[in-house]
Chains A and B, each alone.
Chain A
Amino acid sequence: MICYRCGQEAGNEKRCPSCGENLAVLKKIRIISGAYYNQGLEQAKIRNLSDAVISLKNSLKFNKYNIDARNLLGLVYFEMGEVVDALGEWVISKSYQPSDNLASVYLDEVQKNRGRLDSENQTIKKYNQALHYCQQDSRDLAIIQLKKVLSMNPRMVKAHQLLALLYLQEDKLELAKRTLRNAAKIDSGHTITLRYMQEVNRRLKEKEKNSSKKSKDEDLISYQSGNETIIMPKRFKESSVGTTLLSIVIGLLIGTAVTSFLIVPTVRNRMKEETRQQMLEASDTISSNGQEMKELESQIETLKQQLTEEQENSVKVESQISSYDKLLSAYVSYVSEDFTAAGEALDKVKTKYLSKSAKSIYKELSDVVMEKYFTQLYREGYSAYQKGRYAEAIEAFKQITDEKEDFHDGYAAYYLAQSYRRSNDLQSAKPYYQYVIDNYPDTERARTAQNYVNAQEQ
């Protein structure tokens, strides 16, 4: 028992152990809640579900922590086809008492059986659609939809009642009666079911009365004999042979006329009606199939998006792994003083995939290694330049200047320009000559560079 004053657990004490509040009133309230729960349980046992709902709601109004009442209310809702209300009660129940609670079992059952939950949801959607059809006065479509609903979920009391109302409106009293009986099998005490049943019985009695009165009038003949009124059945009327033959002929003529004017059109009308019903069912099936197709298409779209995201993620993860791999091999090469291999490995590291700490390691390593790597590369390039292997020299100097254009006081850029010129590619040499002229004026290199640039321009 939770104290209403301080909100602390008070057990079964008369006074709250925390704040000392007298809990006698609270105890009485708990007793009333329990009494309503017992009443609800009894009503649920005899399938008077709507009254059980009222009792259990009352029980919860007195004590919202009455877990048994809440769980039973959810179960009753579920039995009546009100899945969402049932789930709501069980979720609340579980939040009040997370362990040792039947609601967890019910929720697990629902979650395990996703197919059934989806089917229940489809039923609810179809019921709502049927209600919409009713509001638009498309009663035929509503009846078809409700029949589908009940074939999928025969426990949905509301659907039975709405179908019965439609049958009542269409004056299909026997069908209405059957539907209401089915509703009463699930919930025997529902006021709407009982009221509609009363209406069906009243109308059926009225019809019976009218038909018996009519047949009575048709079967009897009455005439006045003196002071007495004679009432006698028609079939005892005496008739001659001629009259009999005439009656037979007239009967045959009437029979033919009835067949051609009444029965044939009726049969035709019935066939037309059946065709119309089939058309309506077909159009309804088409519309539900269209809806399902749309849902499936949207599912496909979502799955495609997920696939693209997963592929992107996989590429990202691969790049991440490769970057860390390269960083590690760069470190190993650095330790073994192979600066070329270390530099090449560092060159392939994509820093955007590295963590913050890995980035700082990369920077430290890169500062040390790259300097040594470029020095080595510069040596190799210069040696190749001196030996006239200009392609090799270009490759080495280009690699340096791409990363650090001012390397070795601009000599890397200068020798790159020279290598280009000696390979007869003055066009590529020019930007590097220009770099030397702009950044190292008043040097021999700048003057030489200026001469070559001028020579090219002339």
Chain B
Amino acid sequence: MINFEKELKNFKPSAEVEEAEAVIQNHDLSDVTDLIAEMLREAKGNR
């Protein structure tokens, strides 16, 4: 059974073209390679 109020919360406002710059700036651009590099740095630091 679908609950209207609960379902409505799943719908979020779409970003408008004026907000495109903010959307791009807040984009998470890290990938697995970045994680590996971070881990290597941390490991080096611990030594």
A125 touches B16 (CB 8 A): yes
Q: How far is the CA of A88 from the CA of B14 in the complex (A)?
A: 13
| Stretch from A61-69, A212-220, A356-364 at the B interface | A61-69
Which residues of chain A from 26 to 72 have a CB within 8 Å of any chain B CB?
26, 29, 60-64
Known A-B contacts A5-B40, A84-B23, A134-B8; A121 and B17 likewise in contact (beta carbons under 8 Å): yes
Of A25, A88, A158, the contact of B20 (CB 8 Å cutoff) = A88
CB distance from A19 to the nearest CB of B (A): 11
Q: B30 — nearest CB in chain A belongs to which residue? A: A64
| Stretch from A161-169, A279-287, A420-428 at the B interface | A161-169
Question: B7 on the interface (CB 8 Å rule)?
Answer: yes
Question: Within 8 Å CB of B34, what residues of A?
Answer: 4, 64
Of B2, B7, B16, B32, the contact of A124 (CB 8 Å cutoff) = B16
Which residues of chain B from 10 to 24 have a CB within 8 Å of any chain A CB?
10-11, 13-20, 23-24
Q: A123 — nearest CB in chain B belongs to which residue? A: B14
Q: How far is the CA of A402 from the CA of B19 in the complex (A)?
A: 60
B16 touches A121 (CB 8 A): yes
Q: How far is the CA of A5 from the CA of B33 in the complex (A)?
A: 9
Question: A92 on the interface (CB 8 Å rule)?
Answer: yes
Q: How far is the CA of A319 from the CA of B24 in the complex (A)?
A: 45
Q: How far is the CA of A127 from the CA of B14 in the complex (A)?
A: 8
Question: Within 8 Å CB of B18, what residues of A?
Answer: 121
Question: Within 8 Å CB of A158, what residues of B?
Answer: 11, 14
Q: Is the interface of B mostly helix, strand, loop or mixed?
A: helix
CB distance from A192 to the nearest CB of B (A): 7
Of B4, B17, B19, B36, the contact of A120 (CB 8 Å cutoff) = B17
Question: A91 on the interface (CB 8 Å rule)?
Answer: yes
Of B2, B10, B24, the contact of A168 (CB 8 Å cutoff) = B2
Question: Interface size bucket, B side?
Answer: 20 to 34
Question: B42 on the interface (CB 8 Å rule)?
Answer: no
A64 touches B8 (CB 8 A): no
A62 touches B31 (CB 8 A): yes
Question: Within 8 Å CB of A199, what residues of B?
Answer: 1-2
Interface string of A107-125 (1 = CB under 8 A from B): 0000000000100110011
Which residues of chain A from 159 to 196 have a CB within 8 Å of any chain B CB?
161-162, 165, 168-169, 192, 195-196
Q: How far is the CA of A192 from the CA of B34 in the complex (A)?
A: 33
Q: How far is the CA of A168 from the CA of B16 in the complex (A)?
A: 28
A61 touches B32 (CB 8 A): yes
A84 touches B15 (CB 8 A): yes
Q: How far is the CA of A8 from the CA of B23 in the complex (A)?
A: 28
B10 touches A92 (CB 8 A): no
Which residues of chain A from 188 to 227 have a CB within 8 Å of any chain B CB?
192, 195-196, 199
Question: Within 8 Å CB of B7, what residues of A?
Answer: 165
Q: How far is the CA of A82 from the CA of B16 in the complex (A)?
A: 9
Question: A128 on the interface (CB 8 Å rule)?
Answer: yes
Question: B47 on the interface (CB 8 Å rule)?
Answer: no
CB distance from A113 to the nearest CB of B (A): 13
CB distance from B42 to the nearest CB of A (A): 14
Q: B18 — nearest CB in chain A belongs to which residue? A: A121
Most chain A CB neighbours (cut-off 10 Å) among B14, B32, B34:
B14
12 contacts between A and B (CB under 8 A): A4-B36, A84-B15, A84-B17, A85-B23, A117-B17, A124-B15, A124-B17, A125-B16, A127-B13, A158-B11, A165-B4, A199-B1
